[in-house]
């Protein structure tokens, strides 16, 4: 009886170790590979207090930027060369764009043209 009991108490510990290894393999290893290949990443830009934050950002080609409007006021993300343009973004709305090629891309909010930002896309 005591033999069964001790197996029952050790087994969850083993399961815990296995779980830790699985978590390590599932999350830590991809993170290491992702750090080695930054071209497939996503970067967040916040729209808050009538400004893009960060206003200026440098990324590698292939990076996706996700803008999120945290203001109570609608804003847009509109590039000066019209290569990308969001609809009017209400509170908590998101807009994303993947920058495939190198260059400097300036953008602004069509509702508030004083709101400007720039994305520098260069191999890093
Ligand atoms: Cu705006």
Q: Residue 83 C-alpha to ligand 1 middle, in angstroms? A: 19
Structural domain that includes position 52: 42-121
Residue 48, helix vs strand vs coil? coil
Q: Residue 55 C-alpha to ligand 1 middle, in angstroms? A: 13
Q: How many domains does the chain have?
A: 2
Q: Residue 97 C-alpha to ligand 1 middle, in angstroms? A: 18
Which one, of 70, 105, 58, lies nearest residue 84 by Cα? 105
Tens of pLDDT, residue by residue over 10-48, are 555 555 344 444 444 555 555 545 554 444 699 999 999
Q: Residue 113 C-alpha to ligand 1 middle, in angstroms? A: 7
Tens of pLDDT, residue by residue over 57-74, are 999 999 999 999 999 999
| Residues 8 and 21 occupy one common structural domain | yes
| Residues 46 and 18 occupy one common structural domain | no
Question: Does residue 82 come out as left (phi exceeding 0), alpha (psi in the -120 to 50 range) or beta?
Answer: left
Q: What angle do CA 75, 79, 103 make, to 5 degrees?
A: 140
Q: What CATH number does the domain containing 63 carry? A: 2.60.40.420
CB 56, CB 118: distance < 8 Å: yes
């Amino acid at each position: 009886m005591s033999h069964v009991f001790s197996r029952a108490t050790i087994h969850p510990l083993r399961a815990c170790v296995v779980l830790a290894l699985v978590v390590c393999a599932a999350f830590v290893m991809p993170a290491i590979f992702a750090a080695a290949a930054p071209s497939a990443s996503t970067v967040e830009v916040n729209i808050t207090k009538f400004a893009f934050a960060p206003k200026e950002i440098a990324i590698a080609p292939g990076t996706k930027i996700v803008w999120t409007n945290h203001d109570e006021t609608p804003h847009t993300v509109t590039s000066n060369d019209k290569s990308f343009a969001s609809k009017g973004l209400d509170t908590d709305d998101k807009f994303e764009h993947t920058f495939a090629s190198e260059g400097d891309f300036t953008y602004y909010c069509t509702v508030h043209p004083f709101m400007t930002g720039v994305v520098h896309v260069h191999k890093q």
